[in-house]
Structure 1
């Protein structure tokens, strides 16, 4: 089942609290959705951490059908009050702080599960800020269990960072056009060790090199004998005065040589030269990389938890 009929079957209006209505989201809604998400993040984090370009990337992921896989909930004045999407085994739900405690979160959670089942999914995972106890309690009550912890790390850049020389036999240069496929293979090979599903190239690219905010100058690559063995891919997100590292990866047979440290410090130096006072990145407990970042001087700004649930269809 596809199109508006599928959405109506999966998420009937009578499941929403009185006074609310829904429709699928489109890329024309990115600004409104970003304001909703920013309001939520200001409440739980004290600041917005998601850029509008990430929402654009989500709504344009290969394989995601916005007419079936997204929901935008409005109140009686037409103001967005809730937003959710489902793709594969992942889902995301946001409720505006001014509309919490009215059952929207539960309705959107139920929709994500129904939609995932209709699409043939057998599991679903959602991420919740550790400061949002109500959302965590809702997931636990719905049968979700903790999978991994995620951390947003930060480093202040008041002075230009020193960059160590590359290890013997390693050369470093910024990302160039034509590096896309090699960077894709390297990062996905590295992430295969802990991620549940390997991304296709189009999906990977929408989150990285095809984003309007991708910053090649702050995305250094490491080569050994002409072969890519390490990469840091960075973004320069509008509305944020900080640099952001989206991906860090080193080939397994070249780890523990200082390559990641060199690449990260190259990225930090570029952001400092661009006038950014700090740089941030996300990591989680499945990667085992937290100690690396802490040795570089990064500290945890905030944390989230990924909860998962098997979807019983029978």
Structure 2
């Protein structure tokens, strides 16, 4: 690791399966201090199996993450992942966690320095300097991580609000009808491409969006859940995509709720949302969650709160312009 660690601490590379349980224990140890909700669909408390899947998703699991240890105990972990957004920006995101009892000693700063230097090496290798940015996440409740990022020059790019419908038994049945001329129906396989296009078009002018391929969309629809479309005659006006989470289906997730521009503000979104929630309840889900940007120009959170969703937390994406050299 570049940058000093306190006496008695050392860094080491990721060693595969044997580290997954230790990293999961670290994350669980951070949750209460950072206000992390174990049921969150954005940043919860991952299991060893989920840590294993995340590690496998990295470009190079051994190169792209490090652990900080004191003796045999893992007290810190950071990892770097990347993706390209629809406007061509390459986001190099680093994710770091330090056990509360080991904070305030410079471990977080040392991990941040390592992450940025590793990202610089990756950017040189990938040739993406013209479009790269440093990225980091922090829940609004994670005050220490937020302070570290702000001090290092990171600034908020956007906020995701996480909301929950806590008890699907509260849904009335059958609920209000859709607007006149609109019919709701399950999305059938021969409608998949049309539904995908509704989602893609809904994000066409939104910043910070990673392109969603049709193949990725089909993979999402292969998961357990319910998907409904709103139809105005032969035209698809909107879609709602809902998925179930193992092992007990709750909280289920409203993955997407998208309505084409000419049908907005008519009640189509509300009708789709309620249909999706009823479908999830029928499949055994007891609660549901979703996220929405606080800068959404359509104020989607007003709709969600009006049908009974409650705010749980806000998750913030921070960014800093890429620089090719120098420290934090």
Whether the aligned pair in 2 keeps the contact of 1:190 and 1:249 (CA below 8 Å) is yes
Q: Report the number of matched residues.
A: 298
- Partners in 1 of 2:154 and 2:75 — Cα distance? 27
Task: List aligned pairs for 1:227-242, cutoff 5 A.
Answer: 227-238=235-246, 241-242=250-251
Mapped to 2, the partners of 1:42 and 1:234 lie a distance apart of 29
Cα distance in 2, alignment partners of residues 114 and 60 from structure 1: 22
CA separation of 1:99 and 1:232: change in aligned 2, threshold 3 A: farther
Task: Give TM-score scaled by structure 1 length.
Answer: 0.77
Of stretches 14-23 and 283-292 in structure 1, the one that deviates more from structure 2 is 14-23
Q: Which residue of 1 aligns with 2:178?
A: 166
Alignment of 1:159-308 (within 5 A): 159-162=170-173, 163-177=175-189, 180-201=192-213, 204-205=216-217, 208-209=220-221, 214-217=223-226, 219-238=227-246, 241-287=250-296, 288-308=299-319
Question: How far apart, CA to CA, are the structure 2 residues paired with 1:176 and 1:80?
Answer: 48
How far residue 282 of structure 1 moved from its aligned partner, in angstroms, is: 1.3
Whether the 8 Å CA contact 1:244–1:279 is kept in 2: the answer is yes
CA–CA separation in structure 2 for the residues paired with 1:27 and 1:192: 40
Alpha-carbon RMSD across the aligned residues, in angstroms, is 3.4
Q: Is this contact kept in 1: 2:68–2:75, CA < 8 A?
A: yes
Please state whether the residue corresponding to 1:220 is helix, strand or coil: strand
Aligned to 1:89: 91
> Is 1:137 matched up with 2:147?
yes
Q: Is the Cα contact below 8 Å between 1:245 and 1:281 reproduced in 2?
A: yes
2: CA distance between counterparts of 1:159 and 1:259? 21
Flag structure 2 segments of 5+ consecutive residues without an equivalent.
83-89
| SS of residue paired to 2:170 | coil
Closer, same or farther: CA 78–13 of 1 in aligned 2, 3 Å: farther
Higher-Rg structure is 2
CA drift of 1:251 comes to 2.0
Secondary structure in structure 2 of the residue aligned to 1:143: coil
**Aligned residues of 1:82 and 1:104 also touching (Cα < 8 A):** no
Q: TM-score, normalised by structure 2?
A: 0.75
